[in-house]
Amino acid sequence: MYRRLAVCYAALTVLVLFGFPKAGIYLGNIPLTFSYVLVGIAAVFELVCLTRHPSRKLHTRYAWLGVLIGLLALLEIASFRIYGMRSVGAAVSVLVSTIAMPILAILMTHWVLRILGIEGLLRFLKWAMVPVFAFGFVSFLVYNATGTVLGIPFITTTGSDITTVATRHNLRGPVIKMFSTYNNGNILGINLLMWGPLVAIGSFRGSMAYRSLCVATLSRSVWAGLVLLELIKAMSERSYRRVFQAACGMVFLLAVVIVASYVIGRDPQSFLLDKDLGGRVTNLQNDLEVISSVRIGWDSESVPAAAWLAFGPAGVVLMAIVWLFPVLTGGNTKVQITARISMLVYLIVAVVEGAFILVPTQAIYWFIASLAMAAPEITLLEEPASETEEQQPERTDLDSVEPPQYAPSL
């Protein structure tokens, strides 16, 4: 009975975090998303497992990561005390994204791996793509054809107001970006760059689904990230065929981008080679001019710039070390290599635009990071066998398991 409930909860956590990340309510002016609530509860379950089974210890790499996160926390708290905070909400948002969510997401992912195993986790990850793809393209086509915003209150949006989607930087001229259940095209695309490649493992339709969603976001940052992702993956596989396929894909993407530029009423050259990066350079210059007189918040879409504005050069260096840590220390199975490449691409794109403190970016980043770093101590949590049952050997680690061939594709 416990086993069935645990499987249901783990599956629900994966489906909601990736498929319906914005589902939730408002407590006053504070958004409370169901995905983050589920992540927090699953993290508590993992803490209970570690307490009840002392032999199940986390790998030493997590101890080093914990030390780094602890140093970052001290730096942030000291900065808030010295320079002040813009608001309690701003401080909480920064602390949750940089300190709390990495810890909670790592614990949650370990627990989900114990319950579902890597095969089950990938299977439910593929199922999470279904509502993102289906609702995304239906809402995309309906709005661009009729101007009507589609949504399900409390499910596809936080709260009951679905009409605000059109005002969340989603318009490109007369055309709306693909926003799906993520409510914003840039957030959708940036997160898909991280978990989409895992869905693509062993699934052609999954591969086409996440790529087409990324293209439809109409985000130049996401397009650049997709091109970079394909190039790095092709080179990592050391296959001339994959390099050729990636090159063909980039030519096709360029053609789509040129057509899309004309559709939204922009000159392709000025749209793609915008020196101001959509106003981001100007905004950063303005922020730097008033940095000494502004209290701490998260003021830039560029993660390094925002970290510099908030915590100075020490903050930039320390955050770079923490977020690069799983990329550099991850494993070498196909799943783990894919995860490490996806994180690297995100970090490169985040130099311009990272959606860093926005739900669900950090939960998904550290979910992927946990898969990359998962070690042999991640074992499936089984119910005790009865005396008449033959004891089966316990399945072990992510390092010895290849992606499932039987998992349903999209």
- HEC per residue, 225-292: HHHHHHHHHHHHHCCHHHHHHHHHHHHHHHHHHHHHHHHCCCCHHHHHCCCCCCCHHHHHHHHHHCHH
Q: Give tens-digit pLDDT for 293-320.
A: 455 567 678 899 888 888 888 999 999 9
Q: Has residue 410 got a pLDDT over 80?
A: no
250/230 Cα distance (integer angstroms): 8
Q: How confident is the model at residue 251 (pLDDT cuts 50, 70, 90)?
A: confident
Q: What's the whole-number mean pLDDT along residues 233-244? A: 78
Look at 192-201, 257-266, 328-337, 360-369 and tell me which has the smallest mean pLDDT: 257-266
Q: Kindly give the pairing relationship between strand 30-33 and strand 175-176.
A: unpaired
Listed residue (350, 32, 300) closest to 189, CA to CA: 350
> From residue 383, how far is each of 119, 386, 395 by CA, in Å?
19, 9, 13
For residue 296, give the 3-state DSSP assignment.
Answer: strand
Distance CA(98)–CA(327), nearest Å, equals 17
pLDDT at 403 exceeding the cut of 50 = no
Percent of the chain residues past pLDDT 70, beyond the cut: 80
CA distance 326 to 339: 9
Question: 377-408: string of b/e by CB count within 10 Å (b at 16+)?
Answer: ebeebeeeeeeeeeeeeeeebbeebebbeebe
Q: What does the block give as tokens for 55?
A: 């032999």
Strand, helix or coil for residue 176: strand
Instruction: State the average pLDDT for the chain.
Output: 83
C-alpha pair distances (Å), 58 with each of 51, 91, 109, 211, 379: 12, 30, 12, 35, 11
How many CB atoms lie under 10 A from the CB of residue 171? Answer: 15
pLDDT confidence band for 237 (50 / 70 / 90): confident
pLDDT at 273: 56
Helix (H, G, I), strand (E, B) or coil at 299: coil
The least confident of 16-20, 277-281, 377-381, 389-393 is 389-393
Total Cβ atoms within 10 A of residue 92: 13
Largest pairwise CA distance in the chain: 74
Residues recorded for the chain: 410
pLDDT of residue 383: 41
- pLDDT value of residue 205: 93
Sign of CA dihedral 371, 373, 376, 379: negative
pLDDT digits (tens, 9 = 90+) for 141-196: 999 899 888 999 999 999 887 877 777 778 877 788 999 999 999 999 999 999 99
- pLDDT tens-digit profile of 61-109? 888 999 999 999 999 999 888 888 877 878 888 999 999 999 999 999 9
Question: Global pTM?
Answer: 0.85
Q: Mean pLDDT lowest for which of 39-53, 211-225, 234-248, 378-392?
A: 378-392
